[in-house]
Structure 1
């Protein structure tokens, strides 16, 4: 498959502020003593955004302060990640992280932060399912038919993603590589507009959790699930593994919370406890599952190990595909 080195956009070409920041230090004894800001790296309506808002509502009674969600999209999530990396390390500014901005984007271009050193892992919301979904007018009804069509119509297939450096882009590139066909990447400024493009027929394919409600409504057709098991919401849709695909893909998508490096351990522990207690609430569990997540409470140390493993695996895949 022909690929080209990808750039994350002119916005990242400017000089970066140093990662060292004034005021990083001990947190307040009564943390939190003001609203907590959760920075979302994608547009409203993206799965990342929906997860952040679900958890913000759940955290309010446990933290005793509002949790305000702020969207800072762009550059595969790198703009938001850099913003948080440079924030005061007191726990009041957090990043709703995902595979894109911590395990993929740093391999593609200078982003102004080190995903393994610039952040303190806090908590995991859960692993995320995704659907391989296509426009209803595409004459395929199964994943083998999609691969056969793409091989027959060489270079005709295109796929939408929520931006360069997104996990949706990497997954579609991996599918094309394993399936032995070529596909053209069409990036959008978020998952919602990417899905809209496939519904309208401007693009053919999307691999993203945001496809779920459109499949339920009949606006898109699901061909496969990305996940270790079938998705309970779509029990009739087979996994990639059932077709012998996706076995060597980097770790599945996940959503979680990280703080700036240097955030005091007691603050991290307080946030982790509140987050994991929220995950145990039946209403939160059900809401995250509707978004395509398998809720999974982790300690900060466990999340750090997962982040490091996924960062290494994503880098290897990007280099093999000649994307990085």
Structure 2
């Protein structure tokens, strides 16, 4: 027979038996920090700010973007990996800081062990942008010019170990030319070097506005899944016989520290995917070169594992080191 004392005892014990459930039911009860591991103005920063606004509306708490740049995204990523696993410190991640940097430096975290996948903002397109000062209009013309001027072209990226670094090296390898990698502290600084004519080539979504405005940067190819709808006349690099076996690494996603309760991960995933379905948010991401893609945490975890292995093999083949 159940007594009043038994019921009271069960009520006192239950919170200690189910601490994760209790936290999840009240989550979020305070502002959330969304760490961007790159400087302001980078595509990662713009994606983070777009999703922070959308999440704030759906979670009923302020989501504040915090830029912690450095070491190819490793500084901010390590900060999140070492944070308390309560769901109040999150990471706006990309291929560079999860798939490349850990192979090049002692970053202090392992992407498959120390971070928990939450949701994906979407696949990211990039443009192969060239300085309009170059006498080329197409990717084949760029390749022919680069072969005639071996080692004379500079290609800019947002830093050593960035996606732009890897893609520039893969393009040079596949096309058979040599170029000099010039790393910058963020993609905004890198695209400025292209505008100034100090560098002649860059593969990054951040060049898109300058291409659309016309003048100093010309797009000769798209990198991503098919053609970019904002640049329908620019061929995908695979149409030109290149890029078929490149590791993707072209996405932006939400991660949390490992150990965050599954119920909190589920709450964040639902809010994130709901935001992607909202027309204004989806349109904002498309302007940044993303194709919104709702994803479950397990799907993202499997993809991360596959691309992490593929990126490591590519870096080793190209002998890319910090």
Q: Same fold, TM exceeding 0.5?
A: yes
Aligned-partner Cα distance in 2 for 1:61–1:73: 26
- 1:245 paired with 2:242, answer yes
What per-residue deviation string (whole Å, max 9, x for no partner) do you get for residues 295-317 of structure 1? 00000000001111111111010
- Work out whether residues 28 and 90 of structure 1, in 8 Å CA contact, stay in contact via their aligned partners in 2: no
- Structure 1 counterpart of 2:309: 312
- Work out whether residues 227 and 252 of structure 1, in 8 Å CA contact, stay in contact via their aligned partners in 2: no
- Structure 1 counterpart of 2:284: 287
Aligned-partner Cα distance in 2 for 1:35–1:314: 35
In the TM superposition, residue 58 of structure 1 has moved relative to its aligned partner by 0.7
Aligned-partner Cα distance in 1 for 2:61–2:241: 48
Q: For residues 84-95 of structure 1, what are the structure 2 equivalents within 5 Å? A: 84-95=80-91
Aligned-partner Cα distance in 1 for 2:245–2:24: 44
Aligned-partner Cα distance in 2 for 1:259–1:193: 28
Equivalent residue in structure 1 for 2:257, among 260, 263, 268: 260
In the TM superposition, residue 228 of structure 1 has moved relative to its aligned partner by 2.0
- Work out whether residues 191 and 210 of structure 1, in 8 Å CA contact, stay in contact via their aligned partners in 2: yes
In the TM superposition, residue 60 of structure 1 has moved relative to its aligned partner by 1.0
Report runs of 4+ in structure 1 exceeding 4 Å deviation.
none
Aligned-partner Cα distance in 1 for 2:247–2:141: 25
- Work out whether residues 99 and 249 of structure 2, in 8 Å CA contact, stay in contact via their aligned partners in 1: no
- Structure 2 counterpart of 1:296: 293
- 1:198 paired with 2:198, answer no
Describe the SS at the equivalent of 1:249: coil
- Structure 2 counterpart of 1:271: 268
Gaps of 5+ in 2: 1-18
- Structure 1 counterpart of 2:9: none
Q: For residues 18-29 of structure 1, what are the structure 2 equivalents within 5 Å? A: 26=20, 27=23, 29=25
Aligned-partner Cα distance in 1 for 2:249–2:79: 25
- 1:82 paired with 2:74, answer no
In the TM superposition, residue 28 of structure 1 has moved relative to its aligned partner by 5.4
CA RMSD of aligned residues (A): 0.9
Equivalent residue in structure 1 for 2:152, among 144, 149, 156: 156
Number of positions where the alignment pairs a residue of Structure 1 with one of Structure 2: 300
TM-score with structure 2 setting the length: 0.92
Aligned-partner Cα distance in 2 for 1:228–1:68: 31
In the TM superposition, residue 263 of structure 1 has moved relative to its aligned partner by 0.3
Equivalent residue in structure 2 for 1:221, among 218, 222, 228: 218
What per-residue deviation string (whole Å, max 9, x for no partner) do you get for residues 20-41 of structure 1? xxxxx84454111111000001
In the TM superposition, residue 252 of structure 1 has moved relative to its aligned partner by 4.2
Aligned-partner Cα distance in 1 for 2:178–2:233: 28
What per-residue deviation string (whole Å, max 9, x for no partner) do you get for residues 23-70 of structure 1? xx8445411111100000111111110011001111112111000001
Aligned-partner Cα distance in 2 for 1:160–1:237: 21
Equivalent residue in structure 2 for 1:146, among 136, 142, 153: 142
Aligned-partner Cα distance in 2 for 1:234–1:252: 21
- Work out whether residues 123 and 298 of structure 1, in 8 Å CA contact, stay in contact via their aligned partners in 2: yes
Equivalent residue in structure 2 for 1:134, among 130, 133, 144: 130
Describe the SS at the equivalent of 2:64: strand
Describe the SS at the equivalent of 1:176: helix
Gaps of 5+ in 1: 1-24
- Structure 2 counterpart of 1:168: 164
What per-residue deviation string (whole Å, max 9, x for no partner) do you get for residues 139-166 of structure 1? 1111111111111111101100000110
TM-score with structure 1 setting the length: 0.91
Q: For residues 3-152 of structure 1, what are the structure 2 equivalents within 5 Å? A: 26=20, 27=23, 29-152=25-148
